Structure 1
Amino acid sequence: MPTMPVSDKIISLNRIDLNLLTIFCLIYSVGSISKVADMLDISASAVSQSLRKLREQMGDNLFVRSGNTLLPTVYADELYDNILPIIDKLATLLPLSSRIKKRRLTLYTESFVSPLVVPELTQKIVGMNADISLLHRTAELNEAKITELLNMRQADVVFSTFSVESSNISCQKMSDMTLVLIAAKDNPLYENTVTEEMFRDANLVGYNTKNEKIIYHRSIVDKKFRSSERCLLTTSFASILLIVSTTDCLGIIPEKVFATYSGMYQLKKLDTPFTLPQFSIYSSCRKETNKMLFSLLADFYSSQSA
């Protein structure tokens, strides 16, 4: 089958402006001309003009508007899938790229998810001796915020209790988070179990969050089994562990956190007369995640589900 000579292929590329393709990829990722303009520090009209030129060259509309979002056409999906690996490869060949020794992985989590993910992921990176550094940030998350963080390239991966549905985001269930009721080992008020009456009158330390799932389940438990407000709400797991270990307070934490820190803080697990809620932890990242990061995350997911 005859093929085009290499020289002819190179000459044919002269008709395509690489800048137009990079702008196309950004619009595809964030679905907004104004957001791309902000990212590139150029005017929205300049982005629109570039998109118009590419539409003319490709003979396809590329995007259709749905509310405030630009949705890709079938042709745009195919174009994106084909040109993204090329742009990714070109980026690694730039002189600036060769001087960067480490690839920084920006990770966002909900605060209470941090101790369930960050230590093991850091250990995995160190064990792999990979050229990756980790930047971890916490935030109050929901599906819209996660989508924005990933599409605006503010995060490489997000771990949360939310399953995100988006055409350019890959979301995977990592593990289930089971909660347990804890007390200090030498707490004189409780043996290995608590009754409804004990729980109703106990001084209870709680986790302060805007996560609607947790707020909903907590309200159900409080309405049925509590006679007073929690004595403390905090966003710090360390504070919960320390307060429970040094007072007669009870606390509710993920079982995985208990397994890790029960010895250090001298804690015990109490049986409850009701079932505590269970949550799932999901990881979300852009579908075009770089191969090294994809391999790292795949290995990490495997260890979490084992």
Structure 2
Amino acid sequence: MNLRSMDLNLLLIFDAVYAERSISKAAVRLNLSQPAVSNALGRLRETIGDQLFFREGNSMLPTTRAKSLRDPIRQALDLIERGFRTDQAFDFAQSNRRFVIAVGDYGEAVIIPRIIDWITEAAPGIHIHVRSAPSAQLKQELREGNVDFAMDYFTLEEPGFHNKCVLTDNLVSLSRVGHPGIGEQLSLATYLALSHVVIEPRHEMLPMIDLALAKRGLKRNIVLTVPHFLSMPVLVQSSNLICTLPRRMAFLYSDHFRLRSYELPLKTPNFPAYLIWHESVASDPGHIWLRNHLIALCQSL
């Protein structure tokens, strides 16, 4: 059957006649005239190639073919009705929906583990797919729904994008325990003299710590640049390199890799982390549910 040649309103007629077992009652239910329902039923019979209903006394009883069509048609109508509802609650406990979140190393280390702990308890059927750091195609992927959320230090300042600051963080430095060049505290002179491993910048702008140093006419001794934060504690653990990274991430790494953390020897401003999504999913019940919980979870860290 070619659905393009079929009037899908006939499915409403079928559903009403099946439920009411009466053409006149179906007409009242649909706010149509009885002849209009009769004519529509005739067209549907011709399209399906089956009588669909036969009269017995005062009732219209379904044929075997009509009985086989009842559940698929009812399910299709339910799905369409749910799609047009804006106030439908999201049944997260029963859902097996898949959400895609694009995050960098910070979000993957600090935020995603807490999300997974909570999802496993609250909504075990939901699948979270974590994408790597936001790419050049992120805006298009968010618009098209291929990515549900992004977490980043930078906003997407274009019409249609929502940017919510969900937390702020600051910087600390890590070294191996027993580093021969560092005492109880990390002085600015020592910080400048040591060899640094740094993250490869995603933008032309200098990292926050280097901007703060540049304002004083100073510069770090950078000997190694790596693409991921996770490389840094591994390298620091087995060398005299030091690294500077976000505090929450640094504390996770210092515990796991048995590293020592130090306050920076100069002040730097806190930096924000944003949850980003597109207007096209702003009113989606499932998206709203996960979005609100993500925001609350991040703000509780």
Q: Same fold (TM over 0.5)?
A: yes
Task: Rate the CA distance shift 1:236–1:167 in 2: closer, same or farther, 3 A.
Answer: closer
Amino acid of the residue matched to residue 118 of structure 1? I
1:175 Cα deviation from its structure 2 partner: 0.3
Given the superposition, is the C-alpha separation of residues 177 and 141 from structure 1 closer, same or farther in structure 2, using an over 3 Å criterion?
farther
Unpaired runs of 5+ residues, structure 2, are 1-27, 37-78, 86-93
Residue of structure 2 aligned with 1:154, choices 146, 160, 169:
146
Query: CA separation in 2, counterparts of 1:164 and 1:155?
Result: 14
1:7-42 CA distance string (max 9 Å, x none): 259x9xxxxxxxxxxxxxxxxxxxxxxxxxxxxxxx
Q: Deviations over 1:151-205 (max 9, x none)?
A: 0222011111122345433321110021111111221211232222212221101
Aligned residues, how many? 218
8 A Cα contact 2:196 2:241, kept in partner: yes
Displacement of 1:86 in angstroms is 6.6
- State the secondary structure of the residue aligned to 2:170: strand
Identical pairs, percent: 14
Alignment of 1:217 onto 2:208? yes
What is the alpha-carbon distance in structure 1 between the residues aligned to residue 288 and residue 95 of structure 2?
18
Q: Which of 242, 245, 258 is residue 234 of structure 2 equivalent to?
A: 242
Who wins on radius of gyration, i.e. which is larger?
A: 2
Contact in 2 for aligned 1:141/1:211 (Cα 8 Å): no
Inter-CA distance 270–218: structure 2 relative to 1 (3 Å threshold): closer
Distance, in Å, in 1 between the alignment partners of 2:256 and 2:297 is 24
Kept in 1: contact 2:181–2:194 (CA 8 A): no
| Equivalent residue letter for 1:7 | L
Give RMSD over aligned pairs: 3.2
Residue matched to 2:271: 279
TM-score, with structure 1 as normaliser: 0.62
For the residue of structure 2 that corresponds to 1:182, the secondary structure is strand
For residue 188 of structure 2, the aligned residue among 191, 196, 200 is: 196
Amino acid at match of 1:258: A
- State the distance in 1 between where 2:263 and 2:209 align: 18
CA distance in 2, matches of 1:299, 1:269: 31
Deviations 1:42-82 (A, max 9, x none): xxxxxxxxxxxxxxxxxxxxxxxxxxxxxxxxxxxxxxxxx
Aligned ranges for residues 97-116 of structure 1 at < 5 Å? Answer: 102-116=96-110
Distance, in Å, in 2 between the alignment partners of 1:277 and 1:241 is 23
Question: Equivalent of 1:226, from 219, 224, 233?
Answer: 219
Q: Is the 8 A contact 1:201 1:226 kept in 2?
A: no
User: 2:226 and 2:134 mapped to 1: Cα distance?
Assistant: 14
Distance 1:199 1:292, change over 3 A: same
- Residues 6 and 206 of structure 1, relative CA distance in 2, 3 Å threshold: farther
Question: Within 2, Cα distance between the matches of 1:87 and 1:188?
Answer: 69
Query: What is the match of residue 30 of structure 2?
Result: 7
**Gapped regions of structure 1 (runs ≥ 5):** 12-84, 92-99
User: Match of 2:211, as an amino acid?
Assistant: I
Distance 2:117 2:100 in 1: 16
Query: 1:253 and 2:245 equivalent?
Result: yes
Task: Note if contact 1:206-1:232 (Cα within 8 Å) is conserved in structure 2.
Answer: yes
TM-aligned CA deviation for residue 109 of structure 1 = 1.5
Deviation at 1:222, TM superposition (A): 5.5
Task: Write the distance in 2 (CA, Å) between the matches of 1:173 and 1:227.
Answer: 30
1:300 match: 294
Q: Is the 8 A contact 1:181 1:252 kept in 2?
A: yes
Q: TM-score, normalized by length of structure 2?
A: 0.63
**Contact conserved, 2:173 with 2:261, CA < 8 A, in 1?**
yes
Q: Higher helix fraction: Structure 1 or Structure 2?
A: 1
1:88-139 deviation per Cα after TM superposition (whole angstroms, max 9, x unaligned): 6269xxxxxxxx9721111112344422222222222112134211111113
The CA distance in 2 between the partners of 1:227 and 1:252, in whole Å, is 11
Identify if the C-alpha distance between structure 1 residues 303 and 111 changes in structure 2 by more than 3 Å, giving closer, same or farther. Answer: closer
The answer as to whether partners of 2:173 and 2:242 remain within 8 angstroms in 1 is yes
